[in-house]
Structure 1
Amino acid sequence: MSNINLIIEERPRNIGNFMVGRLLPFQSKRMVGPFIFIDHMGPAALKAEENLDIAPHPHIGLSTLTYLFEGNIMHKDSLGTEMEIKPGQVNWMTAGKGITHSERAPEYLRHTEKNLHGLQIWVALPKELEQMEPSFFHADTEELPVWEQDSVSYKLIAGSFMGKQSPVPVYSPLYFLELKSTSRQTVKIGKNLYGEAGLYILEGSIENEGTTFEPKELLVAKDSQLCEFVMNENTTIYFFGGDALPEQRFIYWNFVSSDHALIEQAKKDWQEQKFPQVPGETEFIPLPPENIHLKPQ
């Protein structure tokens, strides 16, 4: 009997001047553990005159995790942070009671051909921390735990797993983990997982109970403790999940909260430009119409 509870296909979404593949939220699965939003960006080959330009926009009630496979993004936020993220590094921004940030191509790359490929992830904060002070954390590639087991390479991007801990300051029990295999290998990972578990296939394929699964598919386990599968050669996958939060989370645009009132206040504050501003930025993305919010599909 298969341990796969749900298979979610990437769905194309336009986030301004850039197309992404939406994985979460999904109609029948809003969250996996505390993970509430996942977009697969690219891979995209951008011409010299094409650039990622996401103007200042707000967040509440969540942490964002940016992880790139290719390309570079300049992050600027209302805390005064200016941090370029490169492949293999982690940008972790905690919005708490409110933060504003922009994401753009770095100035030195704006007139050259470039590639962009990565994951944009939101992690909901525990209810008691939804109104915490905002913060930003950057981890270089060499700071992340890496190891090899049974000819599979592991990297712990965020959270805790197998007694190892990523330096990224998460606020609830979770894991975000990269597995790479150059040869066909059986992976028995279940005893080390906890809470809910999702598996995203970036490249290659995996086999489970006689079925082959390929890229752009997100598999959600019935029981994380039973996760066992075959990784085929030249395969890269990402495991994410953890303990589910006890309360329901609501999403409107870039706002996440267990309390509708906090979202309504954030909408009002953004319309009235009461959120803190990003130093040196004058543009901003307006609040979308009432009938446009992040509906799971």
Structure 2
Amino acid sequence: MSNIQLIIEERAADIGKFLVGRLLPFRQKRMIGPFIYLDHMGPVKLNAREQMDILPHPHIGLSTLTFLFEGSIMHRDTLGNAVEIRPGAVNWMTAGKGIVHSERTPDHLRDSELTMHGLQIWVALPKELEQMEPEFFHIEAQQLPAWEEEGLQWKLVAGEVLGHRSPVPVYSPLYMLEIKSSKRQTINLEGKLFGESGLYILKGGIESEGNRFGPKQILVAKEASLCEFIIEADSTIYIFGGEPFPEERFIDWNFVATDKELIQKAKEKWAAQEFEKIPGDEEEYVPYPSFRKK
């Protein structure tokens, strides 16, 4: 019997100047554990006339995880943080009751050609924490747990699993693992994962029960504890998931909540421009698409 419950293919999604590969949410699977949103950005080449300028926009009820493979992003937020995100580092921003941030090409790279490539992820907060005070943490690449075993390079981007714990301060039981292979071999994670689990193929491929799967797909496991597959040589995959929440999550634009009223209030607050402003980035903002007041 196959342990693959669902296969999710990347779908093109327009986020302004960029088309990204949208993986979550999916109509048949809105979340995998606490993971509620996953975009594969790029790779896209920007010349000196093109810039990444995602204007100030708000979030509630979630943590964002930005993880780059190539390129650089200047993150600014209403807590006063101004941090350049480079490949391998983790930007972890917890919106809680509300935060605003912008993501732009750093000034020192605006006259250069630049390739942007990475993952943009949202992790929903537990119900009791969805209105917490906002927080921001930046974890450098060398701070993430990394180890090698029999031709496999492992990295724990977030969470706790396999006897390792990432310094990313998550708020529910979850994991996001990076695995890179130098040779074809079997990976057996039986009994080592928990909750719900998804496997995202960035590069190369895997084989499971006689079937091959290639890049830009998420394989959703029926049972996370029964995870065994063959990874091809020169492949990069991500395994992510964790304990699902008992309550449904609603998502509207950049807002996530267990209560639609919280989302409505956030929409009205953003339309009235009553969120705090980003120091040094106050002039422009992304309007709520087709705002309709109740």
Q: TM-score, normalised by structure 2?
A: 0.98
For 2:225, what is the secondary structure of its paired residue? Answer: helix
CA distance in 1, matches of 2:285, 2:214: 38
1:287 alignment partner in structure 2: 288
Percent of aligned pairs with the same residue? 62
Task: Please state if 1:199 is matched with 2:196.
Answer: no
Residue matched to 2:37: 37
1:295 aligns with: none
**Aligned-pair RMSD on alpha carbons?**
0.8
Query: Separation in 1 of the partners of 2:195 and 2:150?
Result: 24
1:163 aligned partner, one-letter code: G
Q: Which residue of 2 aligns with 1:51?
A: 51
Provide the residue aligned with 2:100 in structure 1: 100
Give 1:151 shift.
Answer: 2.1
Deviations 1:14-72 (A, max 9, x none): 10001100000000000000000000000011111111110000000000000000000
Q: What are the equivalent positions in structure 2 for 1:3-42 lying under 5 Å apart? A: 3-42=3-42
In the aligned structure 2, how far is the partner of 1:43 from the partner of 1:118? 8
Distance 2:138 2:19 in 1: 25
The aligned counterpart of 2:278 is 278
CA deviations 1:151-174 (Å, max 9, x no partner) are: 211000000011210000000000
Counterpart contact for 2:139–2:167, Cα < 8 Å? yes
- For 1:268, the equivalent position in structure 2 comes to 268
CA–CA separation in structure 2 for the residues paired with 1:251 and 1:68: 24
Matches within 5 A, 1:212-231: 212-231=212-231
Where 1:142 maps in the other structure, the secondary structure is helix
CA distance in 1 between counterparts of 2:138 and 2:163 reads 22
The match for 2:115 is 115
Q: Distance in 1 between matches of 2:189 and 2:173?
A: 17
Q: Say which SS state the counterpart of residue 43 (structure 1) adopts.
A: strand
- Please name the residue that 1:80 is paired with: 80
Q: Retained in 1: the 8 A contact 2:267–2:291?
A: no
Residue 24 of structure 1 aligns to which amino acid in structure 2? Answer: L
In 1, Cα distance between equivalents of 2:3 and 2:162: 21
1:84-105 deviation per Cα after TM superposition (whole angstroms, max 9, x unaligned): 0000000000000000000000
SS at match of 1:31: coil
Secondary structure of 2:80's match? coil
Within 2, Cα distance between the matches of 1:4 and 1:151? Answer: 25
Please give the secondary structure, in 1, of the residue aligned with 2:186: strand
CA distance in 2, matches of 1:215, 1:225: 23
Secondary structure, in 3 states, of the residue corresponding to 1:190?
Answer: coil
- Where structure 2 has 5 or more consecutive residues not aligned to the other structure, the ranges are none
Q: Write out aligned runs for 1:119-130 (5 A).
A: 119-130=119-130
Runs of 4 or more consecutive aligned structure 1 residues displaced over 3 Å after TM superposition: none
Cα offsets for 1:249-283 (capped at 9, x unmatched) = 00000000001110000000000111111111111
Alpha carbons of 1:45 and 1:19: their partners in 2 closer, same or farther (altered >3 Å)? same
Letter aligned with residue 183 of structure 2 = S
Distance of 1:190 and 1:220 partners within structure 2: 15
Report the AA paired with residue 59 of structure 1.
H
The alignment partner of 2:191 has SS state of helix
- Determine the C-alpha separation between the residues in 1 that align with 2:246 and 2:291: 27
Q: Distance in 1 between matches of 2:82 and 2:107?
A: 12
Would you say the 8 A contact 1:152–1:185 is kept in 2? no
- Corresponding residue number in structure 1 for 2:232: 232
Letter matched to residue 4 of structure 2:
I
Instruction: Give the CA deviation at 1:290.
Output: 4.9
SS at 1:180's partner residue?
Answer: strand
With normalisation by structure 1, the TM-score equals 0.97
Q: How many residues align?
A: 291
Shift of 1:150: 3.0
Aligned to 1:162: 162
Q: Distance in 1 between matches of 2:287 and 2:151?
A: 49
Aligned match of 1:178: 178
